[in-house]
Structure 1
Amino acid sequence: MADHTTERTPFNVDTNYSGNSPVNRPAETIKMAPGKRSRKSIWEKLFSGQELLTTLTIISTLLAVFIGLALRIILKDKRWTEREKMYIRFLGDIFLRMLKMLIIPLLTCSIISAIGSLDLSLSKKIGFQSILYYVATTLFAVFQGIFWVLLIRPGKFAKDKTSYVVPVDDGKRNITTQDTLLDLARNLFPSNIIESCIVQDKTNLIYNVSDPKMSFNDLTTWNITFDTSRGTNVLGLVVFSVALGIACARLGIKARPFIETVDALGEAIMLLTKGVIWLSPFGVFFLVVSNMLEMESFSILLGQLGLYFMTVLIGLIVHGFITVPSLYLLCLRKFPFKFIMNMSPAIVTAFGTGSSSASLPVTMHCLEGANRIDQRVSRFVLPIGATINMDGTALYEAVAAIYISQVKDMELSVGQLLAVSITATMASIGAAAIPQAGLVTLVMVLDTVGLSSDNISYILAVDWLLDRFRTVVNVLGDAIGAGIVAKYSKEELLKIDEFNIGQRSDHIENARTAETWNTTPIYKFQIESTACILVNGSE
């Protein structure tokens, strides 16, 4: 019987599916005889290719934590100046800027190419599965966060409720929950798609002392002005890219040149990404060291805010490494350990940068390379997930709001807890995929239970560190979601590839038939060129 692992796919069709179908296996796959694995092969596996990047990234992170702690202990009396911290963080910032440089072209090209090259019925199926997964996991995260904070009750154990309060900037933005939700809707539909690459729309409320109709304590009576704030409007770009991809899919063959151009640009960006990713061990090292030095005091982390910190951390660990992987096990019928291990570079990058968007190029690389997820699925699911799937943020905001209410001796009713869960879910969707964006949307959740935004000062001391952990959960949730969607879309994608192979064969046969009708040198050259291109896999 022939060994299917040596079969080659006709026309060099790129099949990046995960699974055990012969079509999905690389032509060079060779089965190893059982019992032949040696210590040398394991060593080579750890220090070659993708495994080398994973190993270096993990080692650099652990080394950064060790050096950061050592510097704090050895130089415990030294007060690090902002300039010194900036010098240490400099190379990490360069790495972060390189990643952010790739976000917009990668996000837009991925979505347009993925939707435009698929049948609309399949795009709808993948989109529905993705949204269903996002909503389910976000709700799981919120309810789990509420469960842990009500069980542990960290706010009731704070002995001194004011000593760890961090002053809030007096120039904070005055805003209501209604205005925040309206800004979210406005940003979904940007008036200028180019401008949305650099700014977001926002509402400002201005108090006029001379106007007797205004009440200083009632923000709804203040004058409304519309302004912009610096930052990429990721939601607007995603909506525009999805709409443009659907339009291209409906146009069919007419939009094919445009889709090929966008796809080529996306591949070029991914090629750049691969180069940047190999710098991640160095970039993450300097980012983590600087973060360790910026921590004000371990006594705060281990003392008054320690129980709150542990409550959030327990919720994030249970959700990110038990609940969501359990969904993977349930849906794919296989353990997720190897899948998660292959995502190590993306997980470490998420911890170092604190940004789901900045981690997006690395996440795509790990999914398509190590985990062999079809790029049409990964480039459809991940950009949207990095924008709206914020499980860690949703869990954190629910815990933070209830913790602050416990500190203020405020008992929340069942209705208020339900309001917290709904608002935390909506706020996590509206949170930009940038560091500490959850702290901004937390104002919405606090307003739901009647707490002032000034109360955010109770958790500021440890928020920067928790932000890293919840970003890890966000990125891991996106990756596992892509794996689940790829599993349920595998048959349809395989049929599309089989159809494309058949179409190419028909084109070649028609070209050869036409050659017998007209044997003039020029026409014959065109037919041969066309057949050659089709055989090489171009569409």
Structure 2
Amino acid sequence: MARSRKEKLQGCIRMNLLTILTVFGTLGGLIFGIILRSSKSEAWTQREIMYIAFPGNLFLNILKGLILPLIISSIVSAIGSLDLSLSGKIGAKAICYYLCTTVLAVILGIIMCVTIRPGKDYDVGEVEDLKGRRNVTTVDTLLDLVSDGKIGVRILVGCIEGVHLGEAKRNLTLFDWKMDDDQDNLFVTGSNTLGMVVFSVVMGITLAKMKVEGRALLAFFDSLSAAMLMMTSWVIWVSPLGVFFLIAGKIIEMKSLSQLAGQLGWYFSTVMLGLTIHGFVVLPTLFIVATRRLPFRFIFNLAEACTTAFGTGSSNATLPVSMKCLEEKNNVDTRVSKFMMPIGATINMDGTALYEAVAALFIAQVRNVQLSLGQILAVSVTATMASIGAAGIPQAGLVTMVMVLDTVGLDSKDVTIILAVDWLLDRFRTTVNVLGDALGAGIVDHLSKGELARMTENAEELSDVEEHLMQPVGNKDNMALT
């Protein structure tokens, strides 16, 4: 018995090793930062802080380097792998569900953050000043979503550089506004995230429509996606060390630790409230509207899957348990569960989308950066698309979070502000991700009873024809004589 308990304990530690190391990295960084902070009577210089945070900044740079290949390969592979023959109507319903729930999650996160304002009234103090930022108007940001500037800009340049359109004139009314031909375009270092995502989505749809002709290229993106997933998992295992130095540097840099702790508490509460509302109000409401039945028993039967999701922090690791709960306890058709759950674990990340929207706005509030309506719209679009490209592994949302910050011009290093509580929020948002996938499978299964029945009939007819054709010729002659 003692040995059995020891084996269970070892298994639990192995399963949660990354989380345990991240917690130790967070606590160690806090303690180390406080010790260094109190070791000097005068303030630390920016250069000294840079030296301490250098390993953490190196970790962030590695994450940023993974964004382009990870997002492109994941989106193209996930969308290109859709079986359009099965998903004529069934797949359309699944994609509509994924898109609607993700957009609702992002909108809910933005509303929560704008209403509660967890990062308000922050005393910037010694924190890095953003006075070099350009004042981007709502019109500029909206135009940035669909334009790389002047016609003829090379696609490659558009992938590696972002562009902001310059202002035409100041103090113009809505009716006499016009764009000057000689306006200045500001190219900034970093990827054109939205253009990259749109290209990936269109490429995935194209490969799905091409079927046989597109298999070679799709196989390349599948392999690239698998390779990037493996590389990302390696980098994520380094995160405890990166978190240690990033938090230590941030502790030294902050002027008021108590105020930062209070704001992190508000941030944590905002994300948790948003996840609770989305997971146990929005998604069940959609289930009730679509199926005309209460979701309580359905959700109760998913308890094992939700527990596994919280324990592992991985949507992919929860897949076998989720599919078992759907098929054996909730009687969801195996064709629906096997189609929706793997795809959902890749592209349907409601909890991650909500978290990224809240985190981006929270960091902007902490930095006292006023985001325009267009920039908030950019956050919503990017958070939606970034959640599609987020790998279903623990803390992968941290990678795409850097991309969301880059979209609205926030420093990716500011992600260190939320690292202290990210390891715990990752478990809760993964649980919401899995719950959303499972409820979506239940909804699509209910709405697709007719299509599934016809598919079964067609399969049986085809099986009968094949069985008849496979009969020996002599048997056919004997049957004809009788």
Asked whether 1:195 is paired with 2:119, we answer no
Q: Does 2:273 align with 1:318?
A: yes
**Following the alignment from structure 2 to structure 1, what is the Cα–Cα distance between the partners of residues 126 and 31?**
29
For residues 492-507 of structure 1, the aligned pairs below 5 Å read none
- Count the aligned residue pairs: 391
Q: How does 1:63-142 map to 2 (within 5 A)?
A: 63-73=28-38, 75-120=39-84, 121=87, 123-142=91-110
Change (3 A) 1:98 1:167: closer
Contact 2:247 2:419 in 1 (8 A): no
Q: TM-score, normalised by structure 1?
A: 0.58
**Kept after mapping to 2: 8 A contact 1:144/1:395:** no
Q: 2:11: which partner in 1?
A: 45
Q: 2: distance between equivalents of 1:43 and 1:487? A: 32
- The unaligned stretches of length 5 or more in structure 1 are 1-34, 208-213, 344-365, 406-419, 444-461, 514-539
Matched, 1:280 2:239: yes
| Inter-partner Cα distance in structure 1 for 2:343 and 2:415 | 36
Q: Secondary structure at the match of 1:205?
A: coil
Note if contact 2:382-2:404 (Cα within 8 Å) is conserved in structure 1.
yes
Q: What per-residue deviation string (whole Å, max 9, x for no partner) do you get for residues 70-125 of structure 1? A: 3323x151432333322222222232233322222221111112212212335533
How has the CA–CA distance of structure 1 residues 389 and 241 changed in structure 2, closer, same or farther, with 3 Å as cutoff? farther
Native 8 Å contact 2:360 2:404 kept in 1 = no
- Counterparts in 2 of 1:298 and 1:380: CA distance versus 1, 3 Å: closer
Q: Please give the per-residue CA displacement for 1:323-366, whole angstroms capped at 9, x wherever unaligned.
A: 344367867443445423322xxxxxxxxxxxxxxxxxxxxxx3
Distance 1:474 1:79, change over 3 A: same
Residues 173-214 of structure 1 deviation map (CA, whole Å, 9 limit, x = unaligned)? 13321121111232699964433332112112377xxxxxx6
Distance 1:378 1:296, change over 3 A: same
Instruction: Letter of the 1:106 partner, please give it.
Output: L
Contact kept? 2:75, 2:201, Cα under 8 Å: yes
Picking from 305, 315, 331, the partner of 1:367 is: 315
CA distance 1:125–1:469, shift in 2 (3 Å): farther
Map of 1:417-436 to 2, 5 A cutoff? 426-430=377-381, 435=402
| Mapped partners of 1:482, 1:193: distance in 2 | 36
SS in 2 for 1:79: coil
Instruction: Measure how far apart 1:54 and its partner are.
Output: 2.5
- 2:195 maps to which residue? 236
Residues 490-516 of structure 1: per-residue CA shift (max 9 Å, x gap):
888xx9xx99xx9xxx9xx9xxx9xxx
Judging changes above 3 Å, is the alpha-carbon distance between structure 1 residues 323 and 98 closer, same or farther for their aligned structure 2 residues?
A: same
- 1:485 and 2:437 correspond: yes
- AA matched with 1:42: K
AA in 1 matched with 2:433: G
Out of 121, 136, 144, the position equivalent to 1:175 is 136
For residues 387 and 201 of structure 1, do their structure 2 counterparts lie closer, same or farther at Cα, with a shift above 3 Å needed?
Answer: farther
Shift of 1:44: 0.6
Q: Secondary structure of the residue that 2:221 maps to in structure 1?
A: helix
1:255 counterpart residue number = 214
CA spacing shift, 1:145–1:114, aligned 2, 3 Å: closer
Distance 1:85 1:180, change over 3 A: same
Query: Is the contact between residue 53 and residue 246 of structure 2 (CA under 8 Å) also seen in structure 1?
Result: yes
1-structure distance, mates of 2:64, 2:365: 30
Alignment RMSD, CA only?
A: 5.0
Q: Within 1, Cα distance between the matches of 2:23 and 2:250?
A: 17
Secondary structure (helix, strand or coil) at the match of 2:16 reads helix
CA distance in 2, matches of 1:77, 1:311: 31
CA distance in 2, matches of 1:472, 1:205: 43
Contact 1:144–1:315 (CA<8 Å) still a contact in 2?
A: yes
**Are 1:200 and 1:233, in contact at CA under 8 Å, matched by a contact in 2?**
yes
Bigger RCO of structures 1 and 2 (CA < 8 A, at least 6 apart): 2
| Structure 2: distance between partners of 1:340 and 1:253 | 39
CA contact (8 A) 1:392 1:473 kept: no
Distance 1:268 1:63, change over 3 A: same
Report what 1:56 is aligned to: 21
Q: Cα gap change, 1:163/1:392 in structure 2, threshold over 3 Å: closer, same or farther?
A: closer
SS of 2:92's equivalent in the other structure is: helix
1:184 aligns with 2:145: yes
Q: Distance in 1 between matches of 2:225 and 2:403?
A: 28
Query: Match of 2:333?
Result: none
Matched, 1:380 2:332: no
Aligned pair in 2 of structure 1 residues 489, 235: CA closer, same or farther (>3 Å)? farther
Q: How far does residue 478 in structure 1 lie from its aligned partner after superposition?
A: 7.3
Q: CA offset at residue 314 of structure 1?
A: 3.1
Cα offset, 1:68, TM superposition:
1.9
* 1:247 CA drift (Å): 1.0
In structure 1, the residue matched to 2:417 is: 465
Give the match's secondary structure for 1:97.
helix
Aligned AA (2:8): I
Q: What is the CA distance between 1:145 and its match in structure 2?
A: 4.2
Q: 1:363 aligns to what?
A: none
SS state at 2:167 partner:
strand
